[in-house]
Structure 1
Amino acid sequence: MKTGCTLQSLAQELERQQHAKKDLVLASSLMRHSTDEQGQTQLLVNEQQGLTRYGVTPLARQQLAEKLRIPFTYFERMRQNEPALLDRNVNTWLKSGERRMLRTLDGKVRAVLSERYRRLDNYALADSVLPLLQQLPHVQFMSVQLTDTRMYLKCVTPRLHYEVAPGDMVQAGVVISNSEVGHGCLLVQPLLYRLICRNGLIASDPTLRKTHLGRVAVDDEAALTVFQDDTLRADDQAFFLKVRDVVQAAVSEVTFRQLAQKLQKTRGIPLTGNPVCTVELLGQRFGLNEGERSGVLCHLIQGGELSGYGLVNAVTHYSAEVEDYDRATDLEALGGKLIELPSREWKQLAEAA
């Protein structure tokens, strides 16, 4: 499993961000786009106290282009080669007046979202679920991280364990992940943790999925709304009570045993074809790049088990070597998708030549 930060450093950064962020809901006509000669972009926002300049993160640039229906490759080409042309394009379409939510942090716009975007913030989520997770029997936080797009809490309880093969034990766990910047839902998912090589496998079907979609914030189209931290606190607390129940279900004996047995069944799928072709087909179906395919193949051969089980473990073992934490988590989730594959698709992978 990919190593993250310490729980203490995560808490400190969440606390810092809580005081350094601000959310705005406003008509796009109150914004103006500016690009300098180095390609650095800014949004100038007409706030109540006057004009405020914000830097723009790469993710927010992509979201802004999407909202304005400007192809992002063209957006980036203009940014790098014709910044004045980019500003004319963006500012022309900003005049439409459509309402947007801007999420800012440290003086930068980090997300450009719909006015109906429902905030489920990392600080409030962690404040609610960490005490709950710490109550799990002998809980171990195996990996936590805060990336530019998501927060992850991955923990294991040794109370539930299952021997998939002689001497090969897995334990029950849970993954809670959330995005504040429109990069996916809040998810609570069961986790299998393999002790031999410290692999994490995330179940493909989330126990809980909460979309960030809510009601329109205000009706006055000319108004600018600054959300205060307590605006949605009551709704959040009601939802986090549901998260508590779902976490308990995710680490229940029934859920854990079902997943462990699905993983165990992959031991009975021999890879009779060419392992190189098997990994190539896997990469084509699940979007693995060339480096990822090479890494998975290397672990498959080194593991010495040419079976479905060996392939699943090759994917999850390789995930720990991936530099990007979000992508490493995607590969852990791919392990969960593989144990759910129907026999027909496993047959194609196993016999690839």
Structure 2
Amino acid sequence: MNAWLREAPERKFMLRAFRGENGPGMPPAEGVARALLSDSYKLMDNFDMLLAALDGVTQSGHPTRVTGCDLTDRRMYVRIESKAVAIHAPRLLRGYRSPFDGRSGDELPVISAGFVISNSEVGSGAYTITPRAVVQVCRNGLTQSKDVMRAVHLGGKQEEGVVSWSNETERKTLELIKSKTADAVRTFLSREYVEAKVREMEDVAGKELAEPTKTIEHVTKTLSIGNEAKDKILAHFVRGGQMTAGGVMQAVTSTAQTLTDADQAAALEALAVPALTAAAAHG
């Protein structure tokens, strides 16, 4: 770190930290340096972003519920679902069994609408809302990363010293997030949107795989998925019983559910639809 800083001593950075505090008369507690960022980094903290996003969800008028939350050193993830917006997808789930309890996709071919709210306070990506369809039989989440709504952490140069937002700056930023969230929710929780995305997946998901093991090898290599996750995906694929490109997609998402690291789980789930495309192309 010191070597990098010496290369350009005139360059300015923002340091995000937690300051340690002790009681009156006691020496300061040790603080924590969280991130070294550009001096143009715009502060959009998780708590503020979440409240603004939830206000946007309320404004949309859709009945929703929070189905999962994770907070890591890098990102916040909040998963929201609306069972009021659900469609039948028998083609997509034909022959599929939950690798967790063996329930049949033929008997419960339902997919409901949802999305993921995510943000980073430390430079690990923008504030995003990503559409996420939920397979009822196994709770697999099918995220549509190409349709993500994002707000980047980019603003004007920050002055030196402790950064403190003005009330006006904070209000404008949060109002924009609230408005964008409401717009995204209205889009992602529409039956037309979910049906269109499911039909897109169905068009390629039924492709039969002649050599599933080689296909999964190809998919994981193409998407830079590690060997440990690859072995789990293969095991979930076999238990799922769907010997198609769609089965590979389901195996990726069900494997993501088993990962304890929330950042890794989110990254793997985001590869499910690309895995579907890669598997169908390989055959």
Partner Cα distance (2:74, 2:273) in 1: 22
Q: What is residue 180 of structure 2 aligned with on the other side? A: 242
Partner Cα distance (2:6, 2:53) in 1: 44
Partner Cα distance (1:161, 1:130) in 2: 21
Identify the range of structure 1 (124-133 vs 319-328) with the bigger mean alpha-carbon deviation. 124-133
- Say what the alpha-carbon RMSD is for the aligned residues: 2.0
Higher strand share: 1
Is 1:201 the counterpart of 2:142? The answer is yes
Q: What is residue 282 of structure 2 aligned with on the other side? A: 349
Is 1:118 the counterpart of 2:36? The answer is no
Instruction: Tell me the amino acid that sits aligned with residue 139 of structure 1.
Output: T
Q: Is 2:223–2:275's contact at 8 Å kept on the other side of the alignment? A: no
Q: CA deviation at 1:142?
A: 1.3
Q: CA deviation at 1:134?
A: 5.2
Instruction: Tell me the amino acid that sits aligned with residue 101 of structure 1.
Output: M
Is 1:104 the counterpart of 2:45? The answer is no
The superposition leaves residues 245-275 of structure 1 with CA deviations (integer Å, 9 ceiling, x where unpaired) of: 2222221222211112123233421111x22
Residue of structure 2 aligned with 1:325, choices 246, 252, 262: 262
Is 1:227 the counterpart of 2:160? The answer is no
Is 1:263 the counterpart of 2:201? The answer is yes
Q: What TM-score, normalized to structure 1?
A: 0.67
Instruction: Tell me the amino acid that sits aligned with residue 136 of structure 2.
Output: L
Q: CA deviation at 1:93?
A: 3.8
Instruction: Tell me the amino acid that sits aligned with residue 16 of structure 2.
Output: R
Q: CA deviation at 1:90?
A: 5.5
Q: Is 1:204–1:337's contact at 8 Å kept on the other side of the alignment? A: no
Instruction: Tell me the amino acid that sits aligned with residue 261 of structure 1.
Output: R
SS of structure 2 residue aligned to 1:187:
strand
Instruction: Tell me the amino acid that sits aligned with residue 45 of structure 2.
Output: D
Change in Cα spacing, 1:253 to 1:347, as seen in structure 2 (3 Å) is: closer
Q: What is residue 210 of structure 1 aligned with on the other side? A: 151
Q: What is residue 218 of structure 2 aligned with on the other side? A: 281
Partner Cα distance (2:117, 2:170) in 1: 19
Change in Cα spacing, 1:227 to 1:91, as seen in structure 2 (3 Å) is: closer
Is 1:314 the counterpart of 2:251? The answer is yes
Q: What is residue 297 of structure 1 aligned with on the other side? A: 234
Q: CA deviation at 1:306?
A: 0.5
In structure 1, the gaps of 5 or more residues are 1-64, 66-86, 219-223
Q: Is 1:203–1:337's contact at 8 Å kept on the other side of the alignment? A: no
Instruction: Tell me the amino acid that sits aligned with residue 301 of structure 1.
Output: V
Q: Is 1:162–1:260's contact at 8 Å kept on the other side of the alignment? A: no
Q: What is residue 164 of structure 1 aligned with on the other side? A: 89
Change in Cα spacing, 1:289 to 1:100, as seen in structure 2 (3 Å) is: same
Instruction: Tell me the amino acid that sits aligned with residue 202 of structure 2.
Output: Q
In structure 2, the gaps of 5 or more residues are 20-30, 91-105
Q: What TM-score, normalized to structure 2?
A: 0.82
Identify the range of structure 1 (242-251 vs 112-121) with the bigger mean alpha-carbon deviation. 242-251
Partner Cα distance (1:349, 1:91) in 2: 47
Larger Rg: 1
Q: CA deviation at 1:178?
A: 0.8
Change in Cα spacing, 1:141 to 1:227, as seen in structure 2 (3 Å) is: same
Q: Is 1:190–1:256's contact at 8 Å kept on the other side of the alignment? A: no
Q: CA deviation at 1:276?
A: 1.5
Residue of structure 2 aligned with 1:337, choices 263, 274, 280: 274
Change in Cα spacing, 1:194 to 1:140, as seen in structure 2 (3 Å) is: same
Q: Is 2:46–2:121's contact at 8 Å kept on the other side of the alignment? A: yes
Q: What is residue 133 of structure 2 aligned with on the other side? A: 192
Q: Is 2:209–2:243's contact at 8 Å kept on the other side of the alignment? A: yes
